[in-house]
């Protein structure tokens, strides 16, 4: 099941094991490209790349968090457009695929973007139920409330992806 967690965006390859030293020393364009696979906002990626070197992972994560809070609505929309909704494995029951597709469609119709949820810490077997429960609960949000929740989920997703990106080789 593709998930929105510490892994790469489905269809893209995040170079795990980049290492913090290599991250700090690499060309800005290479770092920005790797960061875009963590969070799809060019402004966010450029800001993090420009503030290198980071003394440790905690400093990088703090900078990523701060940059995530400072994004414009346009930057957030760009990041959301780069995400793919969590899906079921192909061999799941057809009724499960139908239920998830209907839930995603209802969410996208209501809020105008894909549903994102960080699945870090959730057992893979629980992903489908967690996603469906999340969509159902969040469909009751007003648009402003959902914007806040979505931004928080996106920051959590980016955090996990950054950890994977700069993990030791």
Mean pLDDT of 22-26: 94
What confidence tier does 65 reach under pLDDT thresholds 50, 70, 90? Answer: very high
Q: What is the pLDDT of residues 90-106, one digit of tens each?
A: 888 888 889 999 999 99
pLDDT at residue 52, rounded to an integer: 97
Distances (CA, A) of 107 to 19, 84, 157, 159, 165: 37, 13, 19, 24, 30
22-31, 84-93, 117-126: range with lowest mean pLDDT: 84-93
Residue 15 pLDDT > 70: no
Choose between 2 and 74: higher pLDDT. 74
pTM attached to this predicted model: 0.86
Length in residues, the chain: 169
Choose between 91 and 47: higher pLDDT. 47
pLDDT at residue 10, rounded to an integer: 43
Mean pLDDT of the chain: 88
* Whole-angstrom distance, CA of residue 82 vs CA of residue 160: 16
* Whole-angstrom distance, CA of residue 39 vs CA of residue 97: 27
Residue 30 pLDDT > 60: yes
Percent of the chain with pLDDT over 90: 73
Residue 14 pLDDT > 90: no
* Whole-angstrom distance, CA of residue 80 vs CA of residue 66: 18
């Amino acid at each position: 099941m593709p998930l929105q967690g510490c892994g790469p965006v489905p269809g893209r390859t995040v170079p795990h094991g980049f290492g913090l030293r290599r991250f700090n020393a690499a060309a800005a364009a290479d770092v920005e490209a790797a960061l875009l696979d963590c969070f799809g906002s060019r402004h966010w990626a450029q800001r993090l790349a420009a503030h290198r070197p980071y003394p440790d992972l905690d400093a990088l994560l703090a900078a990523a968090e701060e940059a995530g809070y400072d994004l414009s609505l346009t930057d957030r929309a760009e990041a959301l457009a780069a995400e793919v909704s969590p899906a079921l494995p192909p061999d799941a029951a057809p009724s499960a695929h139908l239920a998830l597709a209907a839930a995603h469609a209802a969410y996208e119709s209501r809020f105008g973007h894909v549903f994102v949820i960080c699945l870090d810490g959730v057992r893979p077997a629980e992903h489908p139920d967690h996603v469906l429960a999340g969509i159902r609960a969040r469909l009751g949000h007003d648009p402003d409330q959902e914007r806040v929740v979505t931004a928080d989920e996106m920051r959590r997703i980016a955090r996990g992806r950054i950890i994977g990106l700069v993990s030791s080789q």
